[in-house]
Amino acid sequence: MELTRKLSDAFNEQIKAEMWSSNLYLSMAVYFMDAGLDGCAHWMKKQAAEELEHVHRLIDYSVKRGGKPVVSPIDAVPAVWDSPQAVFEHVYKHECHVSALIDQLMDVAVAENDKATQEFLRWFVSEQVEEEESARDILDKFNVFGVHALYAINHDLGKR
Ligand code: FEO
């Protein structure tokens, strides 16, 4: 059974969202490079690469199932934040948003009665739990230690 048109289009929306996420994290990497926080920049570059992997995963699956993946233009991403903590607050908020998008995509797969796609999307559902948790862990350090946490966070994130 091929992907329905509705599901193929929904995949394309997610592909766009994941590409936007990759650019967002790359922009955050630039912000941290400018600020001399190379550990944070390294973490963001890895994050950007991971988002591109998600793009490829979605495209490969869509092709395999007879969908019509489209590589669309993507909107500009922010480039300025008030502070390093504000960047990670944005990461957390953004990942919660992506989790909601994945849930919506799963809803379409359920509505289209496509069990193979539901199985495929379970990986993304679990991945989002990890993504939210890693952002929240970093934020927790800021919340407990304030700006004093930055040195240690930068050091830790450089080891990713
Ligand atoms: Fe691909 Fe961070 O969600």
Indicate the SS3 state at residue 22: helix
**Domain with 151 in it: what CATH number?**
1.20.1260.10
Q: Report, as an integer, the average pLDDT of 68-85.
A: 96
CB 119 within 8 A of CB 35: no
CA–CA separation, 78 and 25 (whole Å): 10
Q: How confident is the model over 39-54, as a mean pLDDT?
A: 98
H helices present in 1-83, as ranges: 5-34, 38-64
Residues with CB under 6 A from ligand 1: 18, 21, 51, 54, 95, 98, 131
CA-98 nearest atom, ligand 1 = 3
Question: Structural domain of residue 22, as residue ranges?
Answer: 5-71+79-157
Q: Residue 14's closest CA among 93, 69, 96, 90?
A: 69
Q: What is the pLDDT of residues 107-127, one digit of tens each?
A: 999 999 999 999 999 999 999
Distance 78 CA to ligand 1 centre (A): 17
- What is the pLDDT at residue 9? 98
Domains held by the chain: number: 1
